[in-house]
Amino acid sequence: MRDKIAKYIFFSCAIFSIFAIFGILFYLCNTSIPAFREIGIFNLLFGTVWAPDKEFLAPSDKFGLLPMILSSLCVSFGALLVGGLGGVFTAVFLVRFAPKRIKAPLTAAINFLSGIPSIMFGFFGMVVVVKLLSIISPSGSGYGMLACIIILSMMILPTVTSISKNAIEAVPEEFYLGALALGATKEQAMFRVEIPAAKSGITAALLLGIGRAVGETMAIIMVAGNRAIMPTGLFSNIRTLTINMVMEMAYATDLHKQALIATGVVLMVFIILLNLLVSFYRRDRSHIKKTLFKRRMRSISFHPYDIDIDTPRRQGQLETILKYLAMVFCIMSLTSLVIIVVFIFIKGMGHISLDLLFGVSGNAGMTLRPAFISTIMLISLALTLALPIGIGAAIYLVEYSKRQNKIIKLVRLATEVLSGVPSIVFGLFGMIFFCEILGFGYSLLAGGLTLALTILPTIIRATEESLLAVKNSLREGSYALGARKAQTIFKVIIPVSIPGIITAIILSIGRMVGESAALIFTSGAVAYTPSFYDQPGSSFAVMMWMFSNEGLYINAAYATAAVLMIIVIVINISIAVLDSKLKKRRSQ
């Protein structure tokens, strides 16, 4: 009986992701239906004018999203061309060409770059990239599309690198060795055999990179110029879909507000389509890879015993060039990381003081004390809610589910989609459901509930990997001693998986510390210290945005960035230590 109850509880946790996705879609669509009806779907999507303040215009003429849609696509594909291509080449260098001595530090550095909060990229872009671009800009302003592309490229590069690296490493080693046996060089084996075999994984990485770029908000709002006009060039001021929602939601009412929420629906549909494509490319396609391997082996036209010994050398020139290109991209990635970290520390450390960290907010200035308290309260609430659900879902997926079960496939797809939902969409849902329908208003309660949804996929994934690493011999030994399944899970499997669960917690904390877009819509942006969850509050990232946005507290913004960077470094070190312990445990 207890086993059945435990199974039903774990199943309920597993299908929570499905309800979350449908709940987000339902409430966003339901709220935006009046806008679609009054404006018209075609007019909303293809209208070229966004002027909600012009009352003399008909709704169908003043709510057009085409400039924002084109701007979002331009910066996303521009970032994909630079950051996506750079990520793939960086992965190639890390897998085959990086010396063993520096391979682990390089990988750790790339992972660290992926953990930097988006608000810090935006701040770096505003104070450095924009100023540099203003030198070459025809208008003398560095704001615009090119600045967005540069910042987004830096943001998506580590994501594409990590997933592409995993995809290449997943290619069977005999592919590489077989190519070498046929006389191929290392470069030819990589670019003519391994890369094509890993094509599906690399494609999934690029699609995820596009999803990250399209859904980004706080980084590009600081460098875009934020004009709702059609993009005309690299230096033209633009406004993306996400920027449009953040800039106008605070004062929007009635049809204007519904049109902004409809913007979120358009963005959500696009993200879901991308995730479906990613899911397709992540399917097991081993038979395709084997066929591709045979074809690639036949296509290598040289042999170590060829009479013309210069033929392999000539055929390998392109691959050699690509090898050095991969090295260049890896150096560029590390350079961008070093520049950001050094710049923030140099600019910020000198402005950190006890008064800034722990002082009392007042008219004379601003302090980080509210951010400390608000962030701790938000993290505590979100983990309290998401951790048991995420662990329960992971347990069901690993211990109870069958791979071919349709419900389990739907759960996994829902988890993938939930992990790809932009923060701004979570914020819209939190504002509609928690703030308005449930009546919580702008509060830490609404922000914590929203954050619980954002970190749920992270907890599920990390915990699932930890559970899969538990040896089956432990399960079998427990059953042999007469333990029931629930007893085995709680007394054997979970205790062994504790390091992985702690890793999930740390990853979730890193995500929440850097979150800003979702919290602006739910917990608010205020400079005072909350006393309980029914009051608004500002996290570190939101406080940093407030400092830099107002322009009056730029030194405080630098200091906040330095504090946030220290937190990110501590989190990454903790993850690295725990991951090392997990690997040792798996090898035992």
Residue 121 · residue 155 · CB < 8 Å: yes
**What sign for the dihedral angle of Cα 23, 26, 32, 36?**
positive
Q: Yes or no: say if 513 and 540 are a contact pair by the CB < 8 Å rule.
A: yes
The pTM score is 0.83
pLDDT (0 to 100) of residue 340: 86
Of 317, 299, 87, nearest to 193 by C-alpha is 299
Distance, CA of 398 to CA of 468 (rounded, Å): 7
- Domain ranges in the chain are 1-27+352-588
Inter-residue contact 20 to 414 (CB < 8 Å):
yes
CA–CA separation, 329 and 123 (whole Å): 23
Confidence class of residue 404 from pLDDT cuts 50, 70 and 90? low
Half-sphere exposure in the Cβ direction for 368 (13 Å, CA): 25
CA dist 375 and 300 (Å) reads: 57
Q: What is the pLDDT of residues 433-455, one digit of tens each?
A: 999 999 998 999 999 999 999 99
Query: Which pLDDT tens digit goes with each residue over 266-288?
Result: 888 888 888 777 766 655 444 44
* Residues 472-485 pLDDT 10s: 888 888 888 888 88
Region 135-154: mean pLDDT is 90
Question: How does residue 304 score in pLDDT terms, banded at 50, 70 and 90?
Answer: very low
Does domain 1-27+352-588 correspond to CATH entry 1.10.3720.10? yes
Q: What is the pLDDT of residues 1-13, one digit of tens each?
A: 677 888 888 888 8
Mean pLDDT value of segment 382-395: 92
Q: What is the mean pLDDT of residues 118-123?
A: 86
The C-alpha atoms of residue 479 and residue 473 are separated, in whole angstroms, by 10
Closest CA to 521 of 501, 498, 494, 539: 539
- pLDDT for the residue numbered 429: 92
pLDDT at residue 581, as a whole number = 66
Q: How far is CA 211 from CA 140, 243, 245, 513, in A?
A: 31, 15, 17, 21
Separate counts of helices (H) and strands (E) for the chain: 32, 0
Query: Could you tell me the two tokens for 215?
Result: 């859904």
Instruction: Give me the residues paired with residue 224 across strands.
Output: none
